[in-house]
């Protein structure tokens, strides 16, 4: 049940990042700031739902190592999202964080969908 919340939360984060970038590009700095704050609240939802999923593995034993690796990669995604939105809002280059976002996102997808058994419950 919590996988739905988890997936919804990180899909929302991607959408909110795109909205921040578009607003910034349109010169709507104030709007971008507000959406950045919403994005930060959404991180809490990702952390809560991911932490809850991780708790199942801590209780259950099997594949705990990969679940922890998944969580670390997920944290890396959040850091990259935040750095991209902050750098862009300040008009600074964010290229290295885009690269990290792609790498971290691929790792979370591979571990989350491919390796760990949760699936679309
Ligand atoms: C933006 C960041 C994140 C992304 C893109 C992401 C992505 C995913 C995906 C694709 C899944 C598979 C869903 C499924 O099995 O149906 C998943 C599951 C999971 N995530 Fe995340 N996640 C993120 C953040 C986190 C964080 C911060 C944690 C830990 C604190 C975490 C822990 C987990 C755990 C334990 C699972 C369960 C895997 C399973 O049972 O299949 N995730 N996540």
Question: What pLDDT is stored for residue 61 in this prediction?
Answer: 72
Q: How far is the CA of 108 from the centre of ligand 1 (A)?
A: 7
Domain boundaries, the chain: 2-115
The CA 96 to ligand 1 mean position distance, Å, reads 23
Q: Which residues contact 21 (CB under 8 A, 6 or more apart)?
A: 84, 85, 88
pTM of the model: 0.93
Cβ(74) – ligand 1 distance below 6 Å: yes
Query: Residue 39 and residue 51: Cα distance in Å, rounded?
Result: 18
Q: Kindly report, residue by residue over 4-61, the tens digit of the pLDDT.
A: 999 999 999 999 999 999 999 999 999 999 999 999 999 999 999 999 999 989 998 7
- Asked whether 51 lines ligand 1 (CB < 6 A), one says yes
> Of 51, 53, 73, 119, which is best to mutate to test ligand 1, by the most ligand atoms within 8 angstroms of its C-beta?
53
88-119: b or e for each residue (b if 16 or more CB lie within 10 Å)? bbeeeebeebeebbeebbebbeebbeeebebe
Return d(Cα 96, Cα 106) in angstroms, integer.
Answer: 16
**Nearest CA residue ID for atom 9, ligand 1:** 112
């Amino acid at each position: 049940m919590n996988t739905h919340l988890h997936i919804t939360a990180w899909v929302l984060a991607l959408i909110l990042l795109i909205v921040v970038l578009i607003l910034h590009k349109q010169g709507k700095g104030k709007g971008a700031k507000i959406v950045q704050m919403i994005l930060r609240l959404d991180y809490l939802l990702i952390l809560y739902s991911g932490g809850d999923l991780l708790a199942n593995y801590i209780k259950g034993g099997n594949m705990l190592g990969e679940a922890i690796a998944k969580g670390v990669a997920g944290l890396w995604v959040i850091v990259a999202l935040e750095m991209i939105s902050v750098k862009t809002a300040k008009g600074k280059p964010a290229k290295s964080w885009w690269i990290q976002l792609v790498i971290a996102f691929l790792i979370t997808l591979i571990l989350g969908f491919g390796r760990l058994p949760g699936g679309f419950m």
